[in-house]
Amino acid sequence: MKPPAIAAFFATLQAANPQPVTELEYTSVFELLTAVLLSAQATDVGVNKATRKLFPVANTPQQILALGLEGLEHYIKTIGLYRSKAKHLMQTCRILVDKHGGQVPRSREALEALPGVGRKTANVVLNSAFGEPTMAVDTHIFRVGNRTGLAPGKTPYEVEMQLIKRVPTEYLIDAHHWLILHGRYVCQARKPQCWRCGVATYCDFTPKTPAP
């Protein structure tokens, strides 16, 4: 995908969804961090169902710690890998209280030092909570980046670096939201819905899938 096509690609996505946001539900930076940590290998829908019960009871590091491990597991047991996620979240809360005054840090280094928080999770928090132009490359963005020719790469990190380099500056803040939503609902893994894709004109993928 050539630079003029990239600009048109994102202009089209922006016109269709001017203010994209994550589908995870949260009202604070800590709630966002918690939801993203719980979302690994789980759906946003599933995470939201659990956090709608958890957050009214405990939505600060101190309150999560007060629940105890078994108490936390009770609220998130419907989420895949809930035991390990509960353990990581408890450890993260302890670090937030002991080292950061109960606040979520704004630096990548500090975020990635938290148990269960990898580069992708840190990127989501830095972008959605703090407005940093980061690219949280999940399976959807990895697929869209490669399939469209927008940001080819063999690893999520390679795709991330390509996106940072190739996406026009004015679209960087919102780009990862547009790409996730596009991959989730249109440019799907098994059957990309090219016949209803608003950016198919700029995409390198061929052949286009015919309408059913």
Q: What does the domain layout of the chain look like in residue ranges? A: 3-20+134-202, 29-128
Per DSSP, the three-state class of 161 is helix
H helix and E strand count, the chain: 10, 0
Active site residues: 120, 138
Assign domain 29-128 to a CATH class. Answer: mainly alpha
The CATH architecture annotation of domain 3-20+134-202 reads Orthogonal Bundle (1.10)
Amino acid at 108: R
Confidence of residue 207 (pLDDT cuts 50, 70, 90): low
pLDDT in tens, 151-190: 999 999 999 999 999 999 999 999 999 999 999 999 999 9
pLDDT in tens, 67-80: 999 999 999 999 98
